[in-house]
Amino acid sequence: MPEAFIGLGSNLCGESEGVYKDPKMQIQQAIKKIGGHSKINILAVSSLYQTGAIGPGDQPDYVNAAVKIETSLGAQGLLEALQLIENQQGRIRVERWGARTLDLDILVYDQLIENTQHLTLPHPRAHERAFVLAPLMDLKPDLVIPDRGKVIDLLANCSMQGIVRLNN
């Protein structure tokens, strides 16, 4: 079965249906939903990390994590399953890099390189973002991000300033 790595991020919470009381809980619930999918098996879960927001306006800090999975879904099917979970947890797409209740990204899918209108693999900026690489380091330091290199080497070239491992 194909192996994939999913990045998770959240910096909003709320009281509406499907939106949990804090970003940490948003991430924990998303992990449960990913693992509850009949065609996805979670192999490992990273620590949670608090990171400063990148994007427009004054945003709250993010909680980030990653999961290692195996799945019988193709890359597009996995993307659709993740977007459904985002929607169930109140994701509204308003502005690029804006605050969000939940962001689920396929970072690497079985070393596949793909660039379509809806899906780019590997994730186009994963290799330059410590908030993505630190959780991946927890899961598989020698993971190769196609055409970019090993996670351990990529993270060595990123600033960890402002990233804090949370007590799960």
Model confidence over 130-144: pLDDT tens digits? 999 999 999 999 999
Confidence check: pLDDT of 19 > 60: no
**HSE on the CB side for 80, CA within 13 Å?**
6
Q: Residue 49's closest CA among 80, 14, 10?
A: 10
Residue 161 confidence (pLDDT): 80
Indicate whether this model's pTM tops 0.85.
Answer: yes
CATH numbers and ranges of domains, the chain: 3-165 (3.30.70.560)
Summarised one tens digit per residue, pLDDT across range 110-123 is: 999 999 999 999 99
Distance CA 81, CA 101 (A): 17
Are 97 and 55 contacting, i.e. CB atoms less than 8 angstroms apart?
A: yes
What is residue 123's predicted lDDT score, i.e. its pLDDT? Answer: 96
Of 3-12, 101-110, 122-131, 158-167, the least confident: 158-167
Kindly list the catalytic residues.
91, 100, 103, 105
Enclosing H/E stretch for 155: helix 151-156
| Percent of the residues in the chain that have a pLDDT greater than 70, as a whole number | 86
Q: Is there a contact between 11 and 61 (Cβ–Cβ < 8 Å)?
A: yes
Query: Is residue 91 over pLDDT 70?
Result: no
SS3 category, 130: helix
